[in-house]
Chain A
Amino acid sequence: DVKVTQSSRYLVKRTGEKVFLECVQDMDHENMFWYRQDPGLGLRLIYFSYDVKMKEKGDIPEGYSVSREKKERFSLILESASTNQTSMYLCASSPELGFGTGPHSNQPQHFGDGTRLSIL
């Protein structure tokens, strides 16, 4: 089974701190994703990466950056944490973005258990 591991289940940080959320997957997937989940807003895509050192902005990239130095690891960085970044953060990976029509397209995303981040 694919395992996506997020480094912390719960994290409390202070306003203005630089925060790192780490995600590791063990299935050699090309694609990795960071979402935040808020009540009433569903899951919103922050950034995704389709290869090492490659990244693409999602719907809400402001205030965030990402790093993908190794294929298995995708880090989300809050450059200067603010209270409106208090949320549940979910990492996911997949072998295919889903744009193609070949035999390896249409693959599901595999999610970690999430990090509940509180910014005080």
Chain B
Amino acid sequence: SQQGEEDPQALSIQEGENATMNCSYKTSINNLQWYRQNSGRGLVHLILIRSNEREKHSGRLRVTLDTSKKSSSLLITASRAADTASYFCATTNMLTFGGGTRLMVKP
């Protein structure tokens, strides 16, 4: 059972543009986390948002959480080629990850 499902599955943008990825989940959560995975590597934690928070920022990352819609979004502003990776959301209650969004940022 997958708690987090990312959308879109793949996203291709030009350097400098913003990238938005969405995540939907099924049950109530304590928190939601976003991770990044470079090709052939493990996942790296990016940001955590608690269930009582609506928005959180970290550098060029902005995460929102809408518990009424059971959804979250990750916005990467002013994207760079180095942001090319897969991005996953995870709800730690159930220790499951979605299939990820593959982001390609073209120089």
Known contacts being A98-B30, A98-B31, A99-B30, is A111 close to B99, with CB within 8 Å?
Answer: no
- List A residues 66-120 near B (Cβ within 8 Å): 90, 92, 97-101, 105-106, 108-114, 116
A108: chain B residues at CB < 8 Å are: 33, 35, 45, 48
Task: Count A interface residues, CB 8 Å.
Answer: 29
Known contacts being A40-B99, A41-B99, A97-B92, is A106 close to B42, with CB within 8 Å?
Answer: no
Task: Count B interface residues, CB 8 Å.
Answer: 24
B95 touching A45 by the CB < 8 A rule? Answer: yes
A114 touching B42 by the CB < 8 A rule? Answer: yes
Report Cα–Cα, A35/B88, bound state, in Å: 14
Known contacts being A97-B92, A114-B40, is A42 close to B99, with CB within 8 Å?
Answer: yes
B43 touching A90 by the CB < 8 A rule? Answer: yes
B43 touching A111 by the CB < 8 A rule? Answer: yes
Bitwise, B80-107 to A at CB < 8 A (1) or not (0) is 0000000010101101111110000000
Cβ of B7 to closest chain A Cβ, rounded Å: 13
Report Cα–Cα, A109/B37, bound state, in Å: 13
Report Cα–Cα, A105/B48, bound state, in Å: 11
Q: Let me know if A58 is at the binding interface, CB within 8 A.
A: yes
A98 touching B93 by the CB < 8 A rule? Answer: yes
25 A-B residue pairs with Cβ-Cβ distance under 8 Å, sorted by A, are A33-B95, A40-B99, A42-B2, A42-B97, A42-B100, A43-B96, A43-B97, A45-B95, A90-B42, A92-B43, A97-B92, A98-B31, A98-B92, A98-B95, A106-B30, A106-B50, A108-B33, A108-B35, A109-B43, A110-B45, A111-B35, A111-B44, A112-B42, A114-B40, A114-B41
Interface positions of A (Cβ within 8 A of B):
4, 33, 35, 40-45, 48, 58-59, 90, 92, 97-101, 105-106, 108-114, 116
Interface positions of B (Cβ within 8 A of A):
1-2, 30-31, 33, 35, 40-45, 48, 50, 88, 90, 92-93, 95-100
Q: Which 7 A-B residue pairings sit nearest by Cβ, starting from the closest?
A: A98-B92, A111-B42, A108-B45, A42-B99, A43-B97, A111-B43, A106-B31
